């Protein structure tokens, strides 16, 4: 997504990656089934301000219970496949998955599958500080056979700040895009053959044309994998 000069641009006031997931699920369903088909889905949107405070304060058990309660509500509403539409909150994916009897499609697994399918192994990872620095996400990618690189301390701080102070509230800045491109170039210089956009909001800022190596947009990959999984047993819309 491009802006004009150095000006900020604010999109809608709704949670950015949630809106993108909804759009992608419907787009992939229509592409798969044709005509006027759209995705049958049940959406539970939490208050991100509350979740961000739990993240910062390290109250992950409480955050997990919030999402587990949401998951139970979705299952009760008839969902037969579960997505957590954020990379960072996969830190509590085991708690959420254990709260329901339906399968949870893990975002890191969908991403790792796409990277391996491309023939690459060494990848850079951009995301929140939690995602880049902790093992819950990197470790799962590495278990899947990937060699994962993250930016240096300054790069990680920059990537994290832009996510929370800009992208999460729909602000897209040209200077932030330029800064991310520098971080990506540094990862490539250290051997990264591709870059995982490991925060769903990063896709609002960075696309394939902004990187010298392939990028892996996790929201898009996750949504596509969900539609494939949901439609794999028949021709009815998910």
Q: pLDDT-derived band of residue 174, with 50, 70 and 90 as boundaries?
A: very high
Average pLDDT, the chain: 90
Catalytic residue among 41, 85, 168, 199: 199
Q: Which two tokens stand for residue 135?
A: 């093992």
pLDDT of residue 178: 98
Closest CA to 221 of 91, 74, 76, 123: 123
Secondary structure E strands in the chain: 9-10, 122-126, 147-149, 171-172, 194-197, 215-217
Question: Could you report the per-residue pLDDT of 202-235, keeping only the tens digit for each?
Answer: 998 999 999 999 999 999 999 999 999 999 744 4
pLDDT of residue 234: 47
Question: Could you report the per-residue pLDDT of 140-162, keeping only the tens digit for each?
Answer: 999 999 999 999 999 999 999 99
Q: What is the 3-state secondary structure (H, E, C) of 48-114?
A: HHHHHHHHHCCCHHHHHHHHHHHHHHHHHCCCCCECCCCCHHHHHHHHHHHCCCCCECCHHHHHHHH
| 200 catalytically annotated | no
**Cα–Cα distance between 191 and 188 in angstroms, integer?**
5
pLDDT of residue 235: 46
Strands 171-172 vs 9-10: parallel, antiparallel or unpaired: antiparallel
Give me Rg for the CA atoms of the chain. 17
User: What's the whole-number mean pLDDT along residues 183-204?
Assistant: 96
pLDDT of residue 169: 86
Answer whether residue 11 shows pLDDT above 60: no
Closest CA to 200 of 51, 87, 50, 115: 87
Question: Could you report the per-residue pLDDT of 85-115, keeping only the tens digit for each?
Answer: 999 999 999 999 999 999 999 999 999 999 9
Higher pLDDT, residue 30 or 5: 30
Q: Which two tokens stand for residue 192?
A: 């990264």
Catalytic residue among 18, 29, 85, 86: 86
pLDDT of residue 5: 33
| 86 catalytically annotated | yes
Q: pLDDT-derived band of residue 170, with 50, 70 and 90 as boundaries?
A: confident
Residue 91 phi/psi, 5-degree rounding, is -60, -30
Q: In this structure, what DSSP letter does residue 171 have?
A: E
pLDDT of residue 18: 83
pTM of this structure: 0.87
Percent of the chain with pLDDT over 90: 84
pLDDT of residue 9: 36
């Amino acid at each position: 997504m491009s802006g004009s000069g150095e000006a900020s641009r604010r999109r809608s006031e709704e949670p950015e990656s949630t809106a993108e997931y909804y759009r992608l699920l419907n787009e992939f369903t229509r592409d798969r089934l044709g005509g006027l088909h759209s995705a049958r889905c049940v959406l539970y949107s939490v208050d991100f301000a509350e979740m961000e405070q739990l993240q910062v304060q390290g109250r992950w058990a409480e955050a997990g219970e919030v999402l587990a309660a949401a998951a139970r509500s979705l299952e009760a509403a008839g969902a037969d496949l579960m997505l957590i539409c954020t990379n960072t909150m996969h830190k509590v994916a085991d708690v959420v998955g254990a709260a329901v009897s339906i399968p949870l499609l893990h975002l890191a697994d969908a991403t790792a599958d796409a990277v391996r399918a491309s023939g690459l192994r060494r990848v850079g990872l951009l995301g929140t500080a939690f995602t880049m620095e902790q093992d819950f996400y990197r470790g799962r990618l590495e278990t899947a056979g990937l060699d994962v690189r993250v930016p240096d301390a300054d790069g990680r701080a920059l990537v994290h700040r832009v996510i929370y102070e800009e992208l999460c509230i729909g602000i897209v800045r040209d200077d932030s895009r330029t800064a991310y491109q520098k971080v990506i170039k540094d990862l490539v210089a250290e051997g990264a053959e591709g870059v995982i956009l490991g925060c769903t909001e990063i896709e609002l800022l960075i696309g394939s044309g902004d990187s010298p190596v392939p990028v892996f947009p996790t929201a898009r990959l996750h949504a596509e994998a969900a539609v494939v999984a949901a439609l794999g047993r028949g021709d009815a819309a998910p």
